Structure 1
């Protein structure tokens, strides 16, 4: 690629991070660490880079030492891996030969062969941060190439605390609050769970249209185009069926049979591949059954969407599914997806975190529904036969109390309060 053109693009892109208002995210970032930020599109990976740049600037690092390149710029469509070294050369030229530039490479997996360049630069002791919206960049082969030079940072849509901050609400809503404050936080929570938590969404009035544009970007770009899929209707139908099955385990065999019942002639291996593309794009994530055998853990997981707003696009009555999906997102944010499970073995527990001995059930309401209350609390008692002395929490839409069932203490807590307790 022409060197002068590349340099001009790099100069133009400086305006991106200089002119953006930064809302500090709740991620602890060390100064002398290389980060690989990964996550679904539009979740704020670039803004974490801008946040780092602002921190460097506040410590006296001149902007001439900052090299930021967003590889989704349409002017960079023809860039090749051999051009990456030219970017480094331009960075050295702009920062002065005596100073090493700080490198921020946004969506670098768009460049085939990027990982070897990044490894070489890290070995040369440059500070370098990268982002990606496809988890194939974390495959075992690439992870081996990067060789422990990077800390992987999963970036999620706003937590509820971040969402309140972005909406200029920074009170401690866990203290005794007024009726008006309570109404305020409940209104913002309802908006949060209904439309999701993509950072840009906060300042947009037509939130559903914005969500649709994000979905189309992921659906068409990260799933259909990237994987060269011609049967886009199959992808759309699979996503619809997964959305309808959120809260329940779903095997590949069952999903294949559901599709066949609609007249879709598609093989099980194709279904497996397509679902893999969806999880690769971070649109979906899976949780495994803690009580299942290894094969069943892999083949009959629960599927959740990475944002409740995207799930809501696909369902007419989504309140219950969005509530459980939101709890799933918050749990993987707190504990990591590899440490969160569901438990199903003659007892159904929505979520189980072994490291915390924590069992969680989720229900819109329980106190005024005798059957639901009995079902949810009895499940905790059954779990006690398998795993004694687990801490039991029942998360609801708005109810709050303490229950006792068969000698087991159960804390009933409204979702908005549980979300805010993450920061205690």
Structure 2
């Protein structure tokens, strides 16, 4: 989002016409459409804008009924709105239903290995580049396989901690909340078991014994 905002200012847009809000900020306590309207009104009161503002709403899935407010703003033509989220609530099919005909999707994927190399200051344009940097490329390939290719992880020395936080977010936000899991700790244990035994065969009965839960729950 910040890259897009910077691109807009580089193209001549006044910085005052850009508002970026991250709804994972702990200072936000009442996460609903009323908060969105309050933020918008406060923003307009603070600045004398001549043109439509660009409003960037990050982690929008945290806000209840956000789609109604965004749909209203779009229909009234009051602002150009960009929303983003890292949660399963924003799956494309659901988003299409919420904002029929009013949105363009932009899906951000993890880094390809070529992009991963570029992040680590290695640019591969021809075969000679691979030969001359073979040892470093092989080292980075092992790192790529071990830690994956999320952009935030790629250059951070605390890779393991970041990946664990991603894991917790997926379990707690995408799965537990979405499917109303009654025993989140069991789900987390099950997920950890699968991730730790990815190349091993197992049975539902073995999982039942290992996790002390019923076979039907495992299934």
Superposition TM-score tier, normalisation by shorter sequence? 0.7 to 0.9
Q: Which structure has the greater CA radius of gyration?
A: 1
For 2:109 and 2:203, how far apart are their aligned partners in 1? 27
SS of the counterpart of 2:109?
Answer: coil
Cα shift at 1:158: 1.9
Cα shift at 1:225: 6.1
For 2:94 and 2:132, how far apart are their aligned partners in 1? 54
Structure 1's unaligned 5+ residue stretches are: 1-48, 273-424
Q: Greater CA deviation, 130-139 or 100-109?
A: 130-139
> Judging changes above 3 Å, is the alpha-carbon distance between structure 1 residues 142 and 267 closer, same or farther for their aligned structure 2 residues?
farther
Q: Does 1:138 align with 2:86?
A: no
Q: Does 1:264 align with 2:208?
A: no
Question: Residue 185 of structure 1: which of 132, 137, 161 is its match?
Answer: 137
For 1:204 and 1:68, how far apart are their aligned partners in 2? 24
For 2:152 and 2:88, how far apart are their aligned partners in 1? 22
Q: Deviations over 1:49-106 (max 9, x none)?
A: 1111011011110110001100000001223211212222233344534211101100
Question: Residue 194 of structure 1: which of 146, 153, 163 is its match?
Answer: 146
Q: Deviations over 1:137-163 (max 9, x none)?
A: 337565323012112222222222222
Question: Residue 158 of structure 1: which of 111, 114, 122 is its match?
Answer: 111
Question: Residue 15 of structure 2: which of 54, 63, 74 is its match?
Answer: 63
How many pairs align?
A: 218
Map of 1:77 onto structure 2: 29
> Judging changes above 3 Å, is the alpha-carbon distance between structure 1 residues 165 and 139 closer, same or farther for their aligned structure 2 residues?
closer
Q: Does 1:102 align with 2:50?
A: no
For 1:78 and 1:141, how far apart are their aligned partners in 2? 24
Structure 2's unaligned 5+ residue stretches are: none
**Runs (4+) of structure 1 moved beyond 6 Å?**
none
Q: Deviations over 1:211-246 (max 9, x none)?
A: 223323433454446765452342133213433675
After TM superposition, list the pairs within 5 Å mapping 1:374-393 onto structure 2.
none
TM-score under structure 1 length normalisation: 0.45
For 1:202 and 1:100, how far apart are their aligned partners in 2? 37
Map of 1:209 onto structure 2: 161
TM-score under structure 2 length normalisation: 0.82
Higher strand share: 1
For 1:221 and 1:267, how far apart are their aligned partners in 2? 25
Q: Greater CA deviation, 114-123 or 239-248?
A: 239-248
Cα shift at 1:117: 0.9
RMSD (Å), alpha carbons: 3.0
CA contact (8 A) 1:92 1:99 kept: no
